[in-house]
Structure 1
């Protein structure tokens, strides 16, 4: 079922700004602002938005350079009128204000209503479901592209599968079948904002309806209304422990669950739905993590990762254990220093076998801490793609995904920004 709506983006060329960064005074917001100051093409019209003029001006002064003359806009997630005024002034709103379940609902509706394109960093399935139900039809009618999860959640996942699809189609090699992402290497810390999102989701999951949504592998694979019912066994488990050779003969050892799979997999499956199931009738998608290629050691480690992931999520849902974890986990707004961010990196590889029996692998590699420096690159380039590359984008509107909204155009920008993104036959 396609949810595309071919609509001209009404009046966006007359907007005062190309991009407004909402939450620019937060940790990731400032990193994104700094990235745009250093890499946005000359003449790009950018403004900084948030609750505190003092903090926004301080960010602008710390960054300097191209940012020195950027206007500031006072807007508050708790003031719908201020959000309406902000989104009416820009082509794209780029928001880092999370947890999105707490602070994002009014903004996504405001952007959809105004015909303003929108990008965020959410890793919260219930928030994306809210967005689909409340904003998709509005955005489709207004010509807005609402694009969630434009950071480490879930750009590498979405674009590696998109790259496989494009390469297999170009080769005339049929469709994708079982497809698995493997986080091959990573260095970086856990974002305080991500932890805060886990706190909010754990609290929300006490509601049986929300819990059923989060366990539904097709939770995001429909238009507005109730998501399709799907058994947990219809797709690979988010806590999958698998033999690496079953993913691809070139791999060895045992693969552990990837802690971001419960969100990323839903985004990729939504992409397939929005593309009228172009990935294939037998397309199934899961995510894993490389914990070594020594059989016994990797098997034990994978088991421990699986148990630990489940235990952590359970502990976050219980008040006594959550209070203890809050003392040691990073708080919202916390983040590593520049040296640590610069030393970070990640590599993911996604494997599939086409319906003609040919094996393929795609790769996404980036320098910089995944949750901070690399995420600022992905989010910043997503905003610039929507703002500046409109002529090369497909005429799709509504609540979209990075691959469906931007696809090849975003890949091209990320490659120019230093990321490695490719897909090859094996």
Structure 2
């Protein structure tokens, strides 16, 4: 890192719904400038002051003003911190200059991105430079894609221990879930669709599971776009809206890990719909997609949410391993805000990984699983 930062972490977008929750988690878990020296950043000082007061934070929490339209203010902001948490999306609209500033300053970065076309573009533009400056740019550190990326990584570590090598096939299935997709996720999805309409070549990126693996293409992957009955699970399975981004991130993780999962690795994600002749509809899983940016569920609604994701691994010789990842709170807000905060702290404390445009598993590995279990309410289990 080329700068001499004043802060360990800065939450950029602190006045947004998820940004507020990130600040709330940092305050509740680490206090103010006790264990982690952190600050809040956004476009408006008055809004930052209002949020700091509403959250009951100490007035010593620093408030920093920066605007994505003002490159000088962004450069100044990222030079002041070791890790930037960006909750300012859609990233394709507001995130490119933030990435540029972090890369140029050698500042580590985490976000909540679920926009594969933009990530593909950022990797192409900044991966080499980030390796040079040491900036670790870690995309998708919320519900997309940490439980899925780290669940896959967890299963493969168990496979190494128990089978002596990786499994070549993993089926990820949403076993149960209650919660809401964040308004930012919905806005990002709409922005991606709008961009694809203007630039049809983006559709090739969106439909390609290996869009983020920089030239590597593995075996054909299951489409996951139709309802199917799976005899081995004895259940109907249906499409999962977040599979498009998660599958790309997991193949990138495998790519960045030197193909620890194998070059023949096959992975897909679907929602379990039950064994009945008339299965549930995927939408009945309770994942509400109606929220707008800045909106979100109440504290009671967040605390009533949960998720239960199961991973079925099969080795080339037919041996199987099954693991699960469970979260104790609403996935799109409560769990997401904790996960990104803990990912940022994990980067802060684990300085041995090198720079580049990364995903959670190669950037943080087993130390992130430990943090998520200790501080973010996730449970990783071998079943």
1:279-358 aligned at under 5 Å gives the runs 279-294=261-276, 296-298=277-279, 301=281, 329-358=290-319
* Map of 2:35 onto structure 1: 43
Q: 1:395/1:190 Cα in 2 relative to 1: closer, same or farther (>3 Å)? A: closer
SS of the equivalent of 2:168 reads: strand
- For structure 2, the 5+ residue unaligned runs are none
For the residues of structure 1 that align with 2:2 and 2:97, how far apart are their CA atoms? 22
Q: TM-score, normalised by structure 1?
A: 0.84
Which residue number corresponds to residue 363 of structure 1?
A: 324
1:63 aligns with 2:55: yes
- Shift of the 178–335 alpha-carbon distance from structure 1 to 2, 3 Å rule, reads same
Query: What's the secondary structure of 1:362's corresponding residue?
Result: strand
Structure-1 separation of matches of 2:16 and 2:292: 12
CA RMSD of aligned residues (A): 2.0
Aligned pairs for 1:118-129 (under 5 A) are 118-129=109-120
| Deviation digits for residues 175-214 of structure 1 (CA, Å, limit 9, x no counterpart) | 2112111111111123211111111111111112111111
CA contact (8 A) 1:119 1:149 kept: yes
> Against the structure 1 CA distance between its residues 379 and 420, is the aligned structure 2 distance closer, same or farther, given a 3 Å change threshold?
closer
Aligned to 2:234: 252
**Aligned partner of 1:194 among 182, 185, 196:** 185
Counterpart pick for 2:205 among 213, 216, 226: 213
Counting only pairs closer than 5 Å after superposition, residues 4-403 of structure 1 correspond to structure 2 as 10-11=1-2, 14-40=4-30, 42-65=34-57, 67-206=58-197, 207-222=199-214, 227=215, 234-245=220-231, 249=232, 251-294=233-276, 296-298=277-279, 301=281, 329-387=290-348, 389-391=349-351, 394-403=352-361
Ranges in structure 1 where 5+ consecutive residues have no aligned partner: 1-9, 310-327
Asked if the contact 2:111–2:138 (Cα under 8 Å) also holds between the matched residues in 1, the reply is: yes
Q: 1:165 to 1:270 in 2, by over 3 A?
A: same
Change (3 A) 1:167 1:185: same
Any idea what the Cα deviations from partners look like across 1:33-91, whole Å, max 9, x if unmatched? 111111126331101111000011111112224x5311111101111111111000100
**Does the C-alpha gap of structure 1 residues 117 and 418 become closer, same or farther in structure 2, counting only changes over 3 Å?**
closer
Whether the 8 Å CA contact 2:338–2:376 is kept in 1: the answer is no
Contact 1:163–1:423 (CA<8 Å) still a contact in 2?
no
Deviation for aligned residue 1:243 = 2.7
Structure number with higher helix proportion = 1
Counterpart secondary structure, 2:64 = strand
User: Deviation digits for residues 85-105 of structure 1, max 9, x if unmatched?
Assistant: 100010000011000000000
CA 423–277 in structure 1, closer or farther in 2 if over 3 Å, else same: farther
- Dislocated runs of 4+, deviation >6 Å: none
Report the alpha carbon displacement of residue 27 of structure 1 after superposing the two structures with TM. Answer: 0.5
